[in-house]
Amino acid sequence: MGGILTAVAEPKPRILQGNRDMVWSLVILMAICAAFAGIAGLCTFSPSGPQQGPIPEFDAEASLRQDARSLDFAIRSPEVPEGWTSNSGRVESFAGTSSSHVGWVTGERSFVELVQTDAPLEDLRRVGGGPRPSMSMIPVAGREWTVFTGDDVRPVWAVDLGDARVAVTGSAATSDLEALAAAVQDAEPLPREQ
């Protein structure tokens, strides 16, 4: 009886033969995935750790000149410290009006942003989102700047220049925010030529 059942019994499917086959299948699948990721450039191998990528190039001067032509308030183009690289700019809707935004990466690879608008000074408390319930004053080159702060948000330094309101914010050190604040208040408004 045992001989008949042994001769008739089908062999187990390969998936049930052992863990070794499953491990080799996973190794082959992982190698194929790694090859596709490498070809697509989605991953790299860096034995010394992560590297800083290049800073995207952006022409802040040209962007601010365009903003001066298209927006209904004064736009200034500050002379920023040497070693800063402009990397971003945009015009966006803000507090029922428009705002001009330009950003720089500092020499220490931190970020500073200049916001110019005709919105009320108090509205600049909401630049970049987040509640900033605290307010203090700080002197910058003979002018009082309002500093809005809150928990887990970047500070916003703001001033009313009469023909526009200006805000300075970012992850940079206080000295960099002060440098940008001084530079923008010293800059003359750009011409509005068409």
According to CATH, what is the number of the domain 60-186? 3.40.1000
Structure pTM? 0.73
Q: φ and ψ at 124, to 5 degrees? A: -65, -10
Give the distance from CA 14 to its chain's centroid: 52
Does 45 score more than 70 pLDDT? no
Give the distance from CA 122 to its chain's centroid: 24
Q: Domain-by-domain residue ranges, the chain?
A: 10-51, 60-186
Which pLDDT tens digit goes with each residue over 151-173? 889 999 999 999 999 999 999 99
